[in-house]
Structure 1
Amino acid sequence: MTESESAGPDYDVVIGGAGLAGCAAAILLARRGARVALLERRSDPGAYKVLCTHSLTANAYPVLDELGLVPALEKAGAVRSHARWYTRWGWIEPRPAPGGPELPYAYNVRRSTLDPLIRSRAAETPGVDLLPGHQVTGLVREAGRTLGVRASTPEGEREIRARLVVGADGKDSAVAKFAEVPTRRYENTRFGYLAHFRDLPLRDGIGHTWFLEPDMAYAFPNDDGVTVLAVLPDKKRLPAFREDLEGSFLAFVRALPEAPPVDSAERVSKIIGLVDYPLHSRRPTAPGVALIGDAALTGDPLWGVGCGWALESAQWLAESVAPAATGRGDLDRSLTAYARRHRRRLSGHQYLAADFAKARRFNPVERLVFSAAARDESVARHMHLFASRLIGPLRFLNPLVLAKATVVNLRHRKAAEPPAR
């Protein structure tokens, strides 16, 4: 045994990336006894992700609660993530059942508010060393297993050893690249542009999504009176958009059913966008490595699920590997459990998202369920659970729901028939 091996690793876990996923994982692992190095390539403690839907779906609420962030988000003015969706059959407007509980929610909150908040919580957590200005430049590997990272720092190159290396460094993950984890890519045939507006009223003060088949748009009210407004058209429209970005963006919004009054609002950001944003999936583990957030799976931005899945995957990892990461269990077995849970919870969602990213019209099953949800409150509530990622595709499209949707639509059709003479 070498001197470095006998001394043990520098940390139990080293995490590349101090965004949502990385900070959440650091906090949750440290609370379970792990010594965590949290590396962030940017030196600014207020750094944040700019290109984002700025929305947390309701599946994220339990993680936010465990992290202790809910009171701080409420204080910061985060807006509860209730929404309504436009379809050709009318608006789907989920509401609580009479006498029932409030619908599940999380928050719409700008990353300029959220990222520094969760990063400061991570830095304050005993057992977490936040290391700004540290960028992963390679992995320490022996016999096919990862034992740490190499990083560039303000003081020069550094090697940090750990039992587990976590890639929380986004869709272009350097950790995944250095670990040679293959990437599966799904084409996205929509492009997207978004901008932030102040004083842009939305009906009931909640989020709006427009399913225009195949074009899409959404508006999410955020903290400090700012609304994120995004358009996601078919790529066939991209050449015209590029000729006059601002004019095309505003014209698209003005043409929306019940369009928000964009001309009377103040635009407080540039119009930024993604011309090409494919969906990515990676195996979430390798020997000595785990991937979380966008590093493991990058969804279609039109669904606004990335932030929620970043937090959930961090929680799943901490629950699966914490004992082994601290030397009290089999790490490989724990990583297998995490990978199985990640795949079981997200692969079905990603399959449907990749199919819908082909910029197609609704298929027959979607037409059945969406039309029924626009006509029946119980189906609308069920759809809300799926849109919030609280249930998976199999439960969303189970035979009882499809039968219910069929009955709703048959009743609607019968009611719409002219009376017999």
Structure 2
Amino acid sequence: MDKPESAGNDYDVVISGASLAGSAAAILLARRGARVALLERRSDPEAYKVLCTHSLTACAYPVLDELGLVPALEKAGAIRNTARWHTRWGWIEPRAAPGGPELPYGFNVRRSTLDPLIRSRAAQTPGVDLLLGHQVTGLVREAGRTSGVRATTPQGEREIRARLVVGADGKDSAVAKLAGVPARRHENARFGYLAHYRDLPLRGGTSQTWFREPDMAYAFPNDDGVTVLAVLPDKKRLPAFREDLEGSFLDFVRALPEAPPVDSAERLTKIIGTVDYPLHSRRPTAPGIALIGDAALTADPLWGVGCGWALQSAQWLAEAVAAAATGRGDLDKSLAVYARRHGRRLRGHQYLGADFAKARPFNPLERLMFSAAARDEAVARHMHLFASRLIGPLRFLNPLVLARAAAVNIRHRRAAAPGA
């Protein structure tokens, strides 16, 4: 099918950042007829993000399916990410209902596997030009809107014009900063460190998360027999970690209930992390600009949802703007559609995440839901849907579920009462 001419533009869309969000957006836009320049500041096509949960929650599965990546991920050894969570009331272990469908799932897969895979798929997509070693240094502006980028390249400076510029360049997005899009910042009262291990058995072979109130930890089994083990303590513990990182990390893990046997496993990487990872959010659009992935919103890493949201925001953008980006609609109205969907789907999750990042104990609603989920399979399945970001906060805390959770806990207290 012939594509509409770009009316004086080099491309219909130029995307800064060829990681998950950028590569997914390039594929999905090009399939809808857009001519896309996909810029990546790094020159190595095998480059990948190191500091990550390496998890794609179930909310990302429909995007992976549309991209055609599910068979490739399974062939690469990605692990279906069912999970269990430890709380002071015991383990929450979501299981499919008897005779019912299996629980929705995503994948745990190392970024060293995932990033080159999706970037290669983008490069092979007709209509996408992958431009490695291209770093955005400025925006081209005309009549009060962005109409392209200026970039440094291996051949020198270059100007690339397009109807739409997409920032998929991470939490420190150059596109957002150059466009003057401010970020709202939420402090995170936890810090985090992680390491990769081989031969680290986990009960049931599934992901494990520990809610220690306020400290957190998780262990995610990944492809090639590698497990990502992370600790996210309250910043009150930071002086001890700074004094002895390895000792503090290992002591923290050893003290976990059903602790992974780190002393008998092979550690493959250094212990890496960050002592300051605030959450932030930006308005996801401006005239001629869209932001996706971490450029629009960063989540608390303890929930492992950032990769899923990167893919979802890429899909939402492509669905909203593809026609207008190729000259077949009003781009500003299409960007408004994307911004509304982005806010509607993620704002509530971000609000709760920012509140929990204060490293506070569980609030009364959380105590109700977590305790009931440890005691009732239906509530545990409901919590799995929320943790997978397949439902939002309003559905998670709907009155019927709260009533069931309260009834579960009342029955539990009665059964535990003396003489019952």
> Secondary structure of the equivalent of 1:418?
coil
1:112 aligns with 112
1:362 aligns with 362
1:321-364 Cα deviation digits (max 9, x unpaired):
00000000000000000000000000000000000000000000
> Secondary structure of the equivalent of 2:34?
coil
Deviation at 1:104, TM superposition (A): 0.2
1:260 aligns with 260
Equivalents in 2 of 1:68, 1:277: separation in Å?
A: 33
Equivalents in 1 of 2:280, 2:162: separation in Å?
A: 27
The 5 A counterparts of 1:131-150 are 131-150=131-150
1:359-392 Cα deviation digits (max 9, x unpaired):
0000000000000000000000000000000000
> Secondary structure of the equivalent of 2:213?
coil
Deviation at 1:143, TM superposition (A): 2.6
Equivalents in 1 of 2:418, 2:167: separation in Å?
A: 61
Deviation at 1:234, TM superposition (A): 0.2
1:380 aligns with 380
2:405 aligns with 405
The 5 A counterparts of 1:1-400 are 8-400=8-400
Deviation at 1:418, TM superposition (A): 1.3
Taking structure 2 as the reference length, what is the TM-score of the superposition? 0.98
Deviation at 1:7, TM superposition (A): 5.3
Equivalents in 1 of 2:320, 2:297: separation in Å?
A: 18
Alpha-carbon spacing, 1:118–1:6, altered in 2? closer, same or farther (3 Å): closer
> Secondary structure of the equivalent of 1:313?
helix
Equivalents in 2 of 1:170, 1:140: separation in Å?
A: 20
Equivalents in 2 of 1:269, 1:82: separation in Å?
A: 25
CA-atom RMSD, angstroms? 0.9
1:298-338 Cα deviation digits (max 9, x unpaired):
00000000000000000000000000000000000000000
Equivalents in 1 of 2:245, 2:185: separation in Å?
A: 28
> Secondary structure of the equivalent of 2:229?
strand
Alpha-carbon spacing, 1:122–1:415, altered in 2? closer, same or farther (3 Å): same
1:218-245 Cα deviation digits (max 9, x unpaired):
0000000000000000001000111000
Deviation at 1:8, TM superposition (A): 1.2
> Secondary structure of the equivalent of 1:48?
coil
Deviation at 1:262, TM superposition (A): 0.5
Equivalents in 1 of 2:85, 2:102: separation in Å?
A: 18
Equivalents in 1 of 2:363, 2:35: separation in Å?
A: 49
1:41-82 Cα deviation digits (max 9, x unpaired):
000010000000000000000000000000000000000010
Amino acid paired to 1:342: H
Equivalents in 2 of 1:95, 1:295: separation in Å?
A: 35
Equivalents in 2 of 1:387, 1:75: separation in Å?
A: 26
Equivalents in 2 of 1:298, 1:133: separation in Å?
A: 25
Equivalents in 2 of 1:323, 1:6: separation in Å?
A: 12
Deviation at 1:6, TM superposition (A): 9.7
> Secondary structure of the equivalent of 1:298?
coil
Equivalents in 2 of 1:81, 1:60: separation in Å?
A: 12
Deviation at 1:419, TM superposition (A): 1.0
1:108-153 Cα deviation digits (max 9, x unpaired):
0000000000000000000000000000001001232000000000
Number of aligned residue pairs: 416
Equivalents in 1 of 2:6, 2:383: separation in Å?
A: 55
Alpha-carbon spacing, 1:391–1:232, altered in 2? closer, same or farther (3 Å): same
1:11-40 Cα deviation digits (max 9, x unpaired):
000000000000000000000000000000
User: For structure 1, which runs of at least 5 residues remain unmatched after alignment?
Assistant: none
CA contact (8 A) 2:164 2:288 kept: yes
Amino acid paired to 2:44: D
2:417 aligns with 417
Moved over 6 A (4+): none
Equivalents in 2 of 1:382, 1:147: separation in Å?
A: 45
Deviation at 1:204, TM superposition (A): 0.6
Amino acid paired to 1:290: A
User: For structure 2, which runs of at least 5 residues remain unmatched after alignment?
Assistant: none
Amino acid paired to 1:124: Q
Amino acid paired to 1:42: R
Equivalents in 2 of 1:280, 1:143: separation in Å?
A: 29
> Secondary structure of the equivalent of 1:297?
coil
Equivalents in 2 of 1:23, 1:81: separation in Å?
A: 23
Q: Give the fraction of aligned pairs with identical amino acids, expressed as a percent.
A: 87
Taking structure 1 as the reference length, what is the TM-score of the superposition? 0.98
Equivalents in 2 of 1:168, 1:377: separation in Å?
A: 39
